[in-house]
Amino acid sequence: MLCEWRDFSTETETYTLERFESLIGDEFEAMQIDSDGFPKCIWTTNFVVLVTKRIKILEEVDFTKIPRNPVCD
C-alpha cells in the first residue's frame, strides 16, 4: 500500500496525479500496486477505483469507480 502517488503508463498514456484526479473527479488517498509496479486499486476520498490493464492492439487502462462510503436512507 502506497500513500504517495506513483505515475504509471500504458503505451499511449502517462497517468500523473493531476490527470488521474481530473479523470476521476476526486482526490487521491492511496494505491496498491502489483509486482510490476502497475496499480491494481486506487483509493480516493469517495471511491475505490479498480484499475484494469487491457491489451487489444494497444495497451490501455480502464478505471471502475465503486462508491466508498455509500449513504443509505
Residue pLDDT, tens place only, 20-32: 999 999 999 999 9
Quote the number of domains for the chain. Answer: 1
**12 is in which domain, residue-wise?**
8-67
Percentage above 90 pLDDT, the chain: 63
Domain assignment present for residue 57? The answer is: yes
**What is the average pLDDT across 45-52?**
94
The answer as to whether 3 is a domain residue is: no
Asked whether residue 72 is assigned to any structural domain, the reply reads no
Q: Are 5 and 43 in contact (CB under 8 A)?
A: no
Contact 3, 46 (CB under 8 A): no
Residue 60's CB: how many other CB atoms inside 10 A? 14
Q: What is the share, in percent, of the chain residues with pLDDT greater than 70?
A: 93
- Going by pLDDT thresholds of 50, 70 and 90, the confidence category of residue 67 is confident
Whether pLDDT at 1 is above 90:
no
Three-class DSSP labels, 1-68:
CECCCCCEECCCCEECHHHHHHHHCCCEEEEEECCCCCEEEEEECCEEEEEEEEECCCEEEEEEEEEC
Kindly report the pTM of this predicted structure. Answer: 0.83
Is the residue at 63 inside a domain?
Answer: yes
